[in-house]
Structure 1
Amino acid sequence: MKRLPPLPALHTFLVTAQCCNFTRAAQQLHITQGAVSRQIAGLESHLGYPLFMRQARGLSLTQQGRELFPRIQQVFGLIEEAVQAASGQRQALQLKAPTCVMRWLWPRLMRWQAERPDIPVELTTTVQHGVDFRHESFEAAIIYGPEPAAGQKPRHLFDEQLTPVCAPALLAGPLPLSQPEDLAQHMLLHPTRDEEDWETWLAGAGVNLPNLSQGQHFETLDLAMSVATQGTGVAIGDWSLIAEDLAQQRLAMPFELKVRTGLAYYLVQPPRSTASEGTLAFIDWLARQASLR
């Protein structure tokens, strides 16, 4: 049987594959760039095939490297889990989520931590809507978009349903908000730099507004919702994400119409990975929370 490659070389490969840069890998490993290069070259010689393609702007994984990376990542994850379990330390579940889902996710994470303090969750937020498990070390991620490939073991959370929202006080103000055409008298708050969400809902309502481009544009949904609660305008939001704001009467829906965009939120896992019992318990619990809306 062929002798296995040395563990330090496999760890160097794992770190280098995550950043695809010898210099950054050396900084993370606290060794020289030359040492990283020699370990990778030695590992490639031992295996009999190249792991990286050297390019002018950095590195990229070869086909063999892409196939090896998730397996080595899983092995070191199991080693870390075993060491922490033996020492009595609690390993935090690494979760990635886009910032747009935080109004829904954060209260539920707090509830999970109260119910299951034995399985802490370490959350990483991002403005990106997806995840690349080949280069990102997360046990699970919430993504937004069309249905992902079956290889990511997707669990559907909820569909995006757009609807206008505003502060309850705005409904009782001097300017009416009884029909969609009345939006022409109010400032429109856009949760993104484009106007696509408002355009989608207005198309569903069969209304054209002259003031569509004259409102305020924000970088995130959360900012738009926060400004809407102050009564300065009408925002367009995802009903699924702001249900708690509506229940607590921080926001109100002037109209009943909710327009589905065809996009949704999914909870996904790395392909070809063996999830821990804690990860599976959290995924099942969060999926149940989504079904309780």
Structure 2
Amino acid sequence: MQSRIPSLNWLRVFEAAARTESFARAAEQLNMSAAAVSQQVRALEERLGAPLFIRHAHAVRLTEAGRAYLPPVQQALMTLEEATEGLFGQTREQGLYVQSVLIFAHGILSRGMAEFEEQHPGVSVVLSTGNSASDLQGGFSDLKIIFGNPHAYGAESDRLMGERLFPVTVRNVAERIAHPSDLLEWPLIEVGTHRSGWSQFLEDRKVRPGGRRIVYADSSLMAMAMAREGRGIALARAPASDIEMNGMGLTPCLPGVSVQGSEAYHLVYDSLSGLRPPARRFRDWLLDWIARQGWD
């Protein structure tokens, strides 16, 4: 059965023609003839079974199908270019591509990256962040820092650290909460993607959850922003959320009361033996640096 994945040359020609809205200008950029551009675009359209351009005398314009197809083609070409440069380019021994969940990058990596850069001045770290699984499953990376099940992202991994959960909100609300059961008088802001949440916290503190009001956020950072605006009580996830909590002026509702989360952060990769030198240096540094902070 013939693959529906088109030729890479066809995709490069399509992207250039779509970007310039001209077969002639695309031909100049690609060092081809306009006739060759037109021929390759036609071949791509025949493979896909749909027209991608509306032809005019001196320009072309994308069809609806072409407009929908362009973004994933551009992303795929960019990913391939980054991977090729990272693995085989002139700087392949020094380029390092890291993907990380946002709260870890913001609250943990930001504290230590200056040390890594000072110790390894020749390594250029390209850091990208995301919140969802789909954010971290696309694109090229040497290493991924994820929260939750590491096996969904790579064959091998290192546990980095866990988290402790405790309720936070604006000061005037926090001062009115003397016992864990008082939390139920306020909306509780839940991050729906986390297994560790309000149910775990309330159960640990022996609070019956009946009558609680739940509002949802898509990340811990958003949950704390909602708490800052007086929309309820969020769960801080220390130490990754410490910087954000302090920056938003949030206060623990029950000082000294926290619950150990059931999930952890992991550094994920396909093969330890296959890591490129800069990735191996970053892994060694990160594991040592986190151990020195006393985080578990």
TM-score norm. by structure 1 comes to: 0.61
Aligned to 1:188: 188
Aligned to 2:225: 226
Aligned to 1:125: 129
Aligned to 1:84: 91
The gaps in structure 2 that reach 5 residues or longer are 15-36, 45-81
- Summarize the alignment of residues 130-279 of structure 1 with structure 2, pairs less than 5 Å apart: 136-146=139-149, 148=151, 152-172=155-175, 176-192=176-192, 197-212=197-212, 214-245=213-244, 250-255=249-254, 256-271=256-271, 274-279=274-279
User: Partner of 1:22: helix, strand, or coil?
Assistant: coil
> What per-residue deviation string (whole Å, max 9, x for no partner) do you get for residues 174-214 of structure 1?
xx2121111122222222378961112111111123443x3
* Structure 2: distance between partners of 1:79 and 1:104: 32
Aligned to 1:22: 6
User: Partner of 1:84: helix, strand, or coil?
Assistant: coil
Identity among equivalent pairs (%): 20
| Residues matched between the structures, number | 229
> What per-residue deviation string (whole Å, max 9, x for no partner) do you get for residues 29-60 of structure 1?
8784869xxxxxxxxxxxxxxxxxxxxxxxxx
Match of 1:95 among 98, 104, 126: 98
* Structure 1: distance between partners of 2:287 and 2:187: 36
* Structure 1: distance between partners of 2:283 and 2:194: 33
Amino acid at match of 2:222: L
Judging changes above 3 Å, is the alpha-carbon distance between structure 1 residues 220 and 75 closer, same or farther for their aligned structure 2 residues? closer
Contact 2:168 2:174 in 1 (8 A): no
TM-score norm. by structure 2 comes to: 0.61
State the Cα distance separating 1:260 from its structure 2 match.
3.1
Amino acid at match of 2:240: L
* Structure 2: distance between partners of 1:125 and 1:25: 30
User: Partner of 1:143: helix, strand, or coil?
Assistant: strand
Contact 2:96 2:126 in 1 (8 A): yes
Query: Is 1:104 matched up with 2:113?
Result: no
User: Partner of 1:263: helix, strand, or coil?
Assistant: coil
User: Partner of 1:262: helix, strand, or coil?
Assistant: coil
Contact 2:146 2:265 in 1 (8 A): yes
Judging changes above 3 Å, is the alpha-carbon distance between structure 1 residues 136 and 234 closer, same or farther for their aligned structure 2 residues? same
Judging changes above 3 Å, is the alpha-carbon distance between structure 1 residues 181 and 253 closer, same or farther for their aligned structure 2 residues? same
* Structure 2: distance between partners of 1:142 and 1:155: 10
Amino acid at match of 1:127: N
* Structure 2: distance between partners of 1:102 and 1:243: 12
Contact 2:192 2:216 in 1 (8 A): yes
* Structure 1: distance between partners of 2:202 and 2:95: 43
The gaps in structure 1 that reach 5 residues or longer are 1-16, 36-72
> Which has the higher mean CA deviation after the structures are superposed, 181-190 or 26-35?
26-35
State the Cα distance separating 1:278 from its structure 2 match.
2.1
Contact 2:83 2:140 in 1 (8 A): no
State the Cα distance separating 1:78 from its structure 2 match.
4.1
State the Cα distance separating 1:77 from its structure 2 match.
5.1
Aligned to 2:57: none
